[in-house]
Amino acid sequence: MKKIVISTKDNSYDVLIGKGIIKKLSKELNKRKLPSSLFVIIDKNVKHKYSDLLIELGVKTKSTFVLTANEKNKTYETLQRIHKRMIEAKLVRNSLVIAIGGGITGDVGGFAASTYMRGIKYVQIPTTLLAAVDSSVGGKTGINFNNTKNIIGSFHQPALVMIDTNFFNTLPKEEIICGTGELTKYAFTTSKVFSNYFIKNLSQIISLNTTVISKVIYESIKYKGDVVANDEKETGLRKVLNFGHTFAHAIEVEQNHKIKHGQAVVAGIACALHLSNKVGLLEYEQLHSFLNIVKPLKRYVNVSNYNRNKLFSVMERDKKNDDGEIKFVLIKDVGETVIDYQVSKKDVLHSIDKGLSYFVK
């Protein structure tokens, strides 16, 4: 089992990574003297595929909330239902929420924990590749509202994250691609060493080779942990993690969530690369060499006929904007990003058309 410690100003917690480690859940909770009054929020598909999971883990929960994970359910209504159940279960300040599922379960579960009684502790048990390499760490929690992704939320760090790679064996291929989408982001933002490893091992990632998967999770979380430790509330450096995401969130909304987040990230990165070239940050030859990192995934990502003006107007509502200006994370080279870059609408529209051209079939 590997361990990474994430340290923020007020908090420090462990991320444990390994095959079959979930069996040690009770032991790890006890070791950290985490509350024994538990409330579990579990993804419906995970509950279905691992029906005896909670019994096997010996977890005595005061109540279990089963969440149907999709973007349309990442809402106030779901949050209210969870809070109601928490009150019925008589959770107190010293209770613990355990979120078992993908990014949606983690985001909503974390937000429910962060808002119940002004914030109680929670543990993340990511069961998708995307949640393992990204959303389970860093403390961003939230819901969608008013057709805007993650617009209501909080920063609330988990008390523990346990990544058991065995969970990925039941993931549909589409979900493995989504995780690979977020890994593509790290392939551009971290280092040439990670980038080369990602390019070389792409097919091993998609086929869930144990060694490769463990390594990419470890490296991603290590990198994200360092970024979060330096800028927990995203005032500067952490914005790097949004590479491709301003486009991606708009694509998700414009496509009415028919495209999944991780797939939209792949398309969003292609747009961000074209935009970086259009504004002169990225040479033409480098653009094409970078697009070769994204293109192997294009057969897994479909964008239906899109309305670029609608896409642009969704971007104008992005929470990363400032004074009505859309701010982009652009790239000069692997590991050399530029944050808060403002560009003309004309250049954004150009990049949308160029970037999405690989994914419209």
Ligand X SMILES: NC(=O)c1ccc[n+]([C@@H]2O[C@H](COP(=O)([O-])OP(=O)(O)OC[C@H]3O[C@@H](n4cnc5c(N)ncnc54)[C@H](O)[C@@H]3O)[C@@H](O)[C@H]2O)c1
Active site residues per annotation: 118, 140, 182, 224, 234, 238, 242, 245, 249, 261
Nearer to ligand X, 86 or 228 (CB): 228
Shortest Cβ distance from residue 260 to ligand X (Å)?
6
Whichever of 156 and 215 has its CB closer to ligand X, that residue is 156
Helices (H), the chain: 25-31, 44-49, 53-56, 76-88, 103-115, 129-130, 173-189, 192-200, 202-206, 210-230, 245-254, 261-278, 284-294, 308-315, 345-356
Asked if 262 is part of the footprint of ligand X (rule: CB under 6 A), the reply reads yes
Q: Does 354 bind ligand X (CB under 6 A)?
A: no
Is residue 127 at the binding interface for ligand X, with CB under 6 A as the rule?
Answer: yes
Query: HEC profile for 263-310?
Result: HHHHHHHHHHHHHHHHCCCCCHHHHHHHHHHHHHHHHHCCCCCCCHHH
DSSP output for 175-209: HHHHHHHHHHHHHHHS-HHHHHHHHHTHHHHHTT-
Residue 160, CA distances (Å) to 26, 29, 84, 217, 227 in order: 12, 8, 25, 16, 18
Pick one of 41, 65, 95, 134: the residue that binds ligand X (CB under 6 A): 134
Selected from 21, 29, 69, 212, the binder of ligand X by CB under 6 A is: 69
With contact defined as beta carbons under 8 Å apart, do 218 and 19 qualify? no
Of 138, 225, 244, 355, the one binding ligand X (CB under 6 A) is 138
Q: How far apart are CB 100 and ligand X at their closest, in Å? A: 9
Q: Which residue is nearest to ligand X (CB)?
A: 103
User: Binding residue for ligand X (CB under 6 A) from 122, 167, 223, 306?
Assistant: 167
| Range in contact with ligand X (rule: CB under 6 A) among 23-31, 63-71, 117-125, 267-275 | 63-71
Q: Does 254 bind ligand X (CB under 6 A)?
A: no
CB 65 within 8 A of CB 78: no
Q: Does 101 bind ligand X (CB under 6 A)?
A: yes
Q: Choose, by CB under 6 A, the member of 156, 261, 278, 350 that binds ligand X.
A: 261
Which CB atom, from 39 or from 50, has the smaller least distance to ligand X?
A: 50
Nearest-angstrom CA–CA distance, 205 and 184: 11
Place of tokens 């239906």: 304
**Count of positions on this chain that bind ligand X (CB under 6 A):** 31
Residues that bind ligand X (CB under 6 A): 43, 45-46, 49, 69-71, 74, 101-105, 107, 127-128, 130-131, 134-135, 138, 140, 149-150, 167, 170-171, 175, 178, 261-262
